[in-house]
């Protein structure tokens, strides 16, 4: 089994509706988005999944997020843009461009600080 990982950093604002505390106010984070794939085997030249393609799929899923207020984006029209929901939304957007029978999107991790993160994965 092979694991591949890439990370991206984006700066976004959000506010958490219904939150009892300061996070109900508009504030921002420099989110680190980490994407982990798993693959059973390598192709004929020794690659499980092209990192260039992985970075592109990740960037495409996050298009419009950087320097935006997440609450204003269609992806979060009916969802609070918590780290947990961001991870799930990105996972669901990315999986079709990655999963191919050999390679599978394993985890999307959203860190809103160096000490706090949330992951989403499917069984």
Pairing type for strands 68-69 and 117-120 reads unpaired
- Edge-to-edge strand order for the sheet containing 2-14? 68-69, 2-14, 27-39, 103-111, 117-120
pLDDT of residue 123 exceeding 90, the answer is no
Q: Which CATH class is domain 2-120?
A: alpha beta
Phi and psi for 24 in degrees, rounded to 5? -75, -15
Q: What is the pLDDT of residues 35-85, one digit of tens each?
A: 999 999 999 999 999 999 999 999 999 999 999 999 999 999 999 999 999
| Nearest in space to 101 (alpha carbons), one of 40, 36, 35 | 40
Contact residues for 97 (Cβ-Cβ < 8 A; gap 6+): 57, 60
Residue 28 CA: distances (Å) to CA of 8, 79, 81, 94, 113: 16, 17, 11, 24, 11
Alpha-carbon span 61 to 17, nearest angstrom: 24
Alpha-carbon span 35 to 94, nearest angstrom: 9
pLDDT of residue 41: 97
Domain ranges, ordered by start, for the chain: 2-120
Q: pLDDT over 70 for what percent of the chain?
A: 100
């Amino acid at each position: 089994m092979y694991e591949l990982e890439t990370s991206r950093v984006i700066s976004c604002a959000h506010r958490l509706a219904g939150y009892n505390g300061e996070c109900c106010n508009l504030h921002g984070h420099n989110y680190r988005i980490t994407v982990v794939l798993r693959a059973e085997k390598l192709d004929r030249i020794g690659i499980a999944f092209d990192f260039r393609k992985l970075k592109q799929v990740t960037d495409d899923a996050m298009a419009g997020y950087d320097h935006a207020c997440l609450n204003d984006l269609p992806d979060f029209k009916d969802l609070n843009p918590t780290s947990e929901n961001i991870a799930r939304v990105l996972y669901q957007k990315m999986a079709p461009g990655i999963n191919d029978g050999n390679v599978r999107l394993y985890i999307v991790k959203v860190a809103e600080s160096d000490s706090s993160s949330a992951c989403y994965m499917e069984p």
